Amino acid sequence: MDHSTTLVLGPVYYLWDADRWRDFYFRIADEAPVDTVIIGETVCSKRLHITEPAFADVVDRLEAAGKSVRLSTLALITLDRESQYQRDLIRDGGHVIEANDLSALNLLKGRNHAVGPLVNVYNGPAARFLAKSGASTICLPPELPAVSVKAITTDCPELAFELFAFGRLPLAVSARCAHARAKGRIKDNCQFVCGEEPDGLTVKTMSNQPFLALNGVQTVSYTCQALLQTDADIKALGVSALRLSPQVCDMVEVAGIFLDLTKDKIDPDEAALRLRTAYPAVPLSNGFHHGHAGAEWVARSRNATMGGPQ
């Protein structure tokens, strides 16, 4: 049995126009060393039609390249048409579905599925409950500290666990669209203004300090998560895959950095250096993993790697 750590590319959280979205995935198919790719709108149902024309081509291209494809469900469902869309997506079958809301868990009961980082799995009993319901893979919530990750994986050895290892952290979702609001609009007449910031719209504090970023109804971190662990660290945590969340940067290079790291070709310090070059736009953070504020960067040391809540 192959126990090497695999790389998973999470869904694009941002509104990218159809061409950009298609070209991104075509290049991922052709060049990125990731095993699994999750696609599909996760943040806002109003965007669904935008990538739809390219959807089938992207799936075909990824699968032809040998990638395993999962489909992501919406994170917050409040409308009948959103429920219906999700039912159709799940009924179509053919692909493993990643649930991002309790409603998807209901529709996926008894069927092999994955659970995304936006479903609250904070402990082993919750994970075991989901496993009984058909989940085979869980991407743990990004705010979990390493001590919790270790406790959960020890409790549920039958499940595959992923860590959110790269990308701006999904921190909150709202019924209100702060992104539209910042541009003098409301959600119902947003005119897709979130598409103007394909990497998020920066929210600075009144002391001119970058803090958060808006992405439609979602709020993400300003910093970029960078869980840079050696392969031994990852195995010690009981995790089998690292999730890379797409940002506007060279994601093929990002995947290459994580591959080199998990193959012990480079060490975490060199990985950090290379990531800062690949995605210079924002600072790196890993505070959640160490039980600190999520915005912090904890420099690598033997003790910090497995650090728990302070």
Q: Which residues inside 272-291 make contact with another protein, applying CB under 8 A?
A: 287-288, 291
Tell me how far, at minimum, the Cβ of 261 lies from another protein, in Å: 24
- 5 or 221: whose CB is closer to another protein? 221
Count CB-CB contacts under 10 A for residue 133: 16
Q: Which of 128, 139, 146 is nearest to 245 (CA)?
A: 139
| Residue 143 contacts another protein per CB under 8 A | yes
| Residue 130 contacts another protein per CB under 8 A | yes
Q: Which residue do the tokens 């840079």 mark?
A: 228
- 204 or 263: whose CB is closer to another protein? 204
Q: Which of 194, 196, 257, 195 is nearest to 224 (CA)?
A: 257
Q: Please, what is the Cα angle at 224 between 221 and 230, to 5 degrees? A: 135
Question: What sign for the dihedral angle of Cα 110, 112, 115, 116?
Answer: negative
Tell me how far, at minimum, the Cβ of 100 lies from another protein, in Å: 10
| Residue 304 contacts another protein per CB under 8 A | no
Q: Which of 94, 110, 205, 301 binds another protein (CB under 8 A)?
A: 205
Q: Which residue do the tokens 């095993």 mark?
A: 35
Contact, 199 vs 167, CB < 8 A? no
Report how far residue 258's alpha carbon sits from residue 44's, in angstroms, rounded to the nearest whole number. 29
Give 253's contacts (C-beta < 8 A, 6+ positions apart): 274, 278
Stretch that binds another protein, among 24-32, 184-192, 227-235, 253-261 (CB under 8 A): 184-192
Helices (H), 74-140: 80-92, 102-108, 124-132
| Residue 187 contacts another protein per CB under 8 A | yes
Q: Which residues inside 214-273 make contact with another protein, applying CB under 8 A?
A: 214, 219, 221
Stretch that binds another protein, among 99-107, 242-250, 259-267, 268-276 (CB under 8 A): 99-107
Q: Which of 18, 48, 131, 147 binds another protein (CB under 8 A)?
A: 147
Report how far residue 79's alpha carbon sits from residue 81's, in angstroms, rounded to the nearest whole number. 5
- 148 or 240: whose CB is closer to another protein? 148
Token code pair at residue 86: 């999700």
Tell me how far, at minimum, the Cβ of 269 lies from another protein, in Å: 24
- 22 or 292: whose CB is closer to another protein? 292
Report how far residue 282's alpha carbon sits from residue 284's, in angstroms, rounded to the nearest whole number. 7
Q: Which residues inside 8-67 make contact with another protein, applying CB under 8 A?
A: none
Tell me how far, at minimum, the Cβ of 96 lies from another protein, in Å: 19
- 59 or 180: whose CB is closer to another protein? 180
Instruction: Report the b/e string of 7-45 with b at 16+ CB within 10 A.
Output: bbbbbbbbbbeeebbbebbbebbeebebebbbbbbbbbb
Stretch that binds another protein, among 5-13, 173-181, 243-251, 269-277 (CB under 8 A): 173-181
| Residue 162 contacts another protein per CB under 8 A | no
User: Which string of x and - marks every residue 60-89 that binds another protein (by CB under 8 A)?
Assistant: ---------------xxxxxx-xx--xx--
| Residue 208 contacts another protein per CB under 8 A | yes
SS3 62: helix
